[in-house]
A and B are shown apart, each in its own frame.
Chain A
Amino acid sequence: MEKMTEEQVKSIANMLRKRSLWMIHYCTGCGAMELPPTMTSRYDMERFGLAPYVTSRQADILLITGYLNVKTLRRVITVYEQMLDPKYVIGFGSCTLNGGVYWDSYAVIKQLDRYIPADLYIAGCMPRPEAVISAFRHLMELIDSGKADGYKRYKRNLAYYKENQRKVLG
């Protein structure tokens, strides 16, 4: 039998990973209300092997829902660094993209991607459960093709992220 190359092993691993994604949702802002219908009977995200989990060690996806203020950013970074590789971040709602309605607030983080690497954003205020599920499906495609490499970017550009974090957190 031919020896399997590293590429093939990786693609098989990615194929298995995308079928089982456990999510920790850090409900910093207002998005928490959209998730119960996504998880439970109405939209049932368990169909795709997605499940909500409660601790950062067990989770694969960090879902940042809604706006993120300076105080909670510190906790979000702790949670993100506690998660085990490979890990993915989804920014949920317009506030994680550009601040949304809090665009001129002094206490709110405008752009999530400057502090932790986001693999995917869901635009909207608020995104409907259909949009959330379609984002998860898109994340699965990204994982399958090996493009969801936020955790690698975080390691590679650690100095950049740490510098940005230090600027806000002090």
Chain B
Amino acid sequence: MVKMILIAIVAPLLAFSIGLSFMMIKRKVVARIQRRYGPTIIQPIFDIMKLLLKEDNISHGVIFSLGPIIAIAGSILSVFFIPIAGLNMLTGSGDLIALLYIMAIGSLGMALGAGDSANPNASIGISRALTLMFGYDLPLVIIVISVALQYHTTDLSAIVAAQANGHWALWSLPLSAIVGFVVTYGALGEHPFDIITAPHEVATGPMVEYGGKHLGFLMINHAFHLYVEIALFVDLFLGGASNIFIFYIKMFAVFFIMMMFDEVLPRFKIDDAVRFFWKWPTVVALISLIIVLVK
């Protein structure tokens, strides 16, 4: 019991610090790619602290204020379902399919809050977010089914255990792994899939009316979101890890490759993004599924 409570406190803190460290490194790496010096490494901490210290916090209604909290709650709940480094928190009581449902809560919380702000930019942004989710969820579900069929289980900790000693799903299911990378990339909303926040088109989309501590909570949620998406990819295809350092290194490797793509690509239109997800990743994921079924 005590151990469970301890894990319940430590796991979100760990997830938050990993996500935050990625946010820090990203600002610096992006600056270096653009041949700038870049901000100090702890700049995201200053940003979050400043937002939480704002004297004014305008709310447009109860749901508007609840939106970021629902989003954080959904993200923290999905942290518990992802096994890291032998810590199986709630993975026993819910499987991969439950996790897929819980991961959608974050976007839905944002949708509720943005809808309550009654700003047209927020409505456009959130409709884009949900449409994009519709786009990348189809290949995601197909690759999750292929991984589950490959290991004859939907228990994420059993999938991690089956990949021990270097028998990664990346080697046995390379096509699914590629699709998984693209889908994770899309879920993080990096270029070219940053249509949701697109500052030049919809003025940061769902966040347009958020300021002060609400925006601070959304930045904290972004750290959790980064962690959840990449940790799921590492667990599914890179075999998890036996300790937290190896896990961090694997996550960082995935994130570093993503940053390289992020800086050189322009932005999709929303219909092009959905068309892309339903064409190439879906077809490749289906081929991978057929290979698993035939084998």
Q: Which residues of A contact B (CB under 8 A)?
A: 13, 16-17, 19-20, 40-41, 44, 46-49, 53-55, 57-58, 60, 83-86
Contacts and interface: CB of A to CB of B under 8 A. Distances in A.
A contact patch SS:
loop
B185 interface: no
Nearest to B30: A46
Interface stretch (B44-52, B169-177, B249-257): B44-52
Contacts of B35: 41
B57 interface: yes
Contacts of B47: 20, 49
B212 A16 contact: no
B203 interface: yes
B54 A20 contact: no
B150 interface: no
A110 B248 CA distance: 57
B207 interface: yes
A41 B204 contact: no
B50 A54 contact: no
B268 interface: no
Contacts of B43: 19-20, 49
A57 B207 CA distance: 9
B134 interface: no
B204 A55 contact: yes
Given A41-B36, A46-B39, A84-B58, 7 more contacts: A16-B46, A17-B53, A41-B35, A48-B39, A49-B47, A55-B204, A58-B207
B contact patch SS:
loop
B31 A46 contact: yes
Contacts of A84: 54-58, 211-212
Among A16, A54, A57, A84, max chain B CB count under 10 A is at A57
Contacts of B46: 16, 19-20, 49
B34 A41 contact: yes
Given A44-B31, A85-B54, A58 B40 contact: no
A58 B211 contact: yes
A136 B73 CA distance: 37
B85 to A, nearest CB: 33
B215 A19 contact: no
A54 B36 contact: no
13 contacts: A19-B46, A20-B50, A41-B35, A44-B31, A46-B38, A49-B40, A49-B46, A54-B199, A54-B204, A55-B204, A57-B215, A58-B207, A84-B55
Contacts of B49: 16, 20
Top 6 A-B pairs ranked by shortest CB distance? A57-B211, A84-B56, A20-B46, A85-B55, A19-B46, A44-B36
B210 interface: yes
Contacts of B200: 54
A16 B40 CA distance: 13
B54 A55 contact: no
Contact of B36 (A20, A46, A83): A46
Contacts of B40: 19, 49
Contact of A13 (B53, B211, B212): B53
Contacts of B194: none
B84 to A, nearest CB: 30
Contacts of A20: 43, 46-47, 49-50
A47 B39 contact: yes
A41 B208 CA distance: 27
B134 to A, nearest CB: 26
B58 A57 contact: yes
Nearest to A57: B211
